[in-house]
Amino acid sequence: MFNFSFFKKQTNLLTTVDIHSHLIPGIDDGAKDMERAIELITELKEMGYKKLITTPHVSDMFPNSKKTILNGYQALTSELKKRKINIKLEVAAEYYADDNFEKLLQKKDILTFGGDKKYLLFELSYFTRPKELESLIHDIKLAGYIPILAHPERYTYFHHDIEEYQELKTSTNVLFQINLNSINGYYSDDVANVVKKLINKGLVDFIGSDTHHKGHTKYLKKSLSHLFYKKIFKHNSILNDKLK
């Protein structure tokens, strides 16, 4: 109890909206079952989050559809209501850039967030840069969506030249969403170094927890107390709270 009170005094959320998490039970590598999903949501609520936009994977590994995602979302929201856990929960998806994604784009069979803004969260391979990344972003915009690149700091092929991030944003107007746990070295020291450069250069548009499991929420508490957490808001125009 003492530790929790101390934590509450030492960390204050600068946005109460999270736009990236994996909380729907049993459909990807996030929460494995309903109990774990409820535990994660409860922890995020205790940290001060008031709205969670959960974004299950859509990829070859996790071939989710609108139906599987929305069915899981309905089950989760029903359970939250049953347990009287008062938090706003919305759903979209995190799309892996592959051939199937291109097909979904053509059919406009996409889950977005932000209402009329139609924000679309997508991710890339961590190790191999797509040959036609700029073309893909153009296709997303042409389909009527606003592209948000999930955790750009984790793509190793960008690490050699920080200016490539700026060039990508300038040429495509893609938005960047960084993971909060990147700032404290959770993924690697290289990722931490890159995310700090993105923050200092003012290239960040959204922040997310990317919560999958309790290990992530444990480190998230540390990230919220990290020096660079406040720097995110000092050097960048963060859009999370526009989604309240």
**Separation between Cα atoms, residue 84 and residue 126, nearest integer Å:** 39
Radius of gyration of the chain (CA): 17
| pLDDT bracket for residue 8 (50, 70, 90) | very low
Maximum alpha-carbon separation in the chain: 53
- Structure confidence by residue, pLDDT tens digits, 118-130: 999 999 999 999 9
pLDDT class for 1, splitting at 50, 70, 90? very low
236: left (phi over 0), alpha (psi -120 to 50) or beta: beta
Q: How many CA atoms lie within 13 A of 206 on its CB side?
A: 28
Percent of the chain with pLDDT over 70: 95
Cα 190 to the center of its chain, rounded Å: 19
Q: Taking 60 as the threshold, does the pLDDT of residue 23 lie above it? A: yes
- Looking at residue 2, its amino acid is F
Average pLDDT over the chain, rounded to an integer: 95
Residues 89 and 41: beta-carbon distance below 8 Å: yes
pLDDT reported for residue 12:
78
Per DSSP, 117 falls in state G
pLDDT mean over 195-201: 98
Class of domain 14-233: alpha beta
Determine the pLDDT at residue 91.
Answer: 98
Q: Which of 138, 92, 136 is nearest to 117 (CA)?
A: 92
d(CA 151, CA 78): 30
C-alpha dist (Å) from residue 155 to 116, 127, 177, 210, 239: 29, 6, 13, 15, 22
Give the mean model confidence (pLDDT) for residues 213-230. 96
Residue 69 identity (one-letter amino acid): I
Q: Which helix (H) or strand (E) holds 53?
A: strand 51-54
Separation CA 72–CA 87 (nearest Å): 17
pLDDT at 7: 41
Q: Are 69 and 51 in contact (CB under 8 A)?
A: no
The structure's pTM equals 0.94
* Per-residue pLDDT tens digits for 145-192: 999 999 999 999 999 999 999 999 999 999 999 999 999 999 999 999
Place of tokens 């020096």: 227
Q: How confident is the model at residue 4 (pLDDT cuts 50, 70, 90)?
A: very low
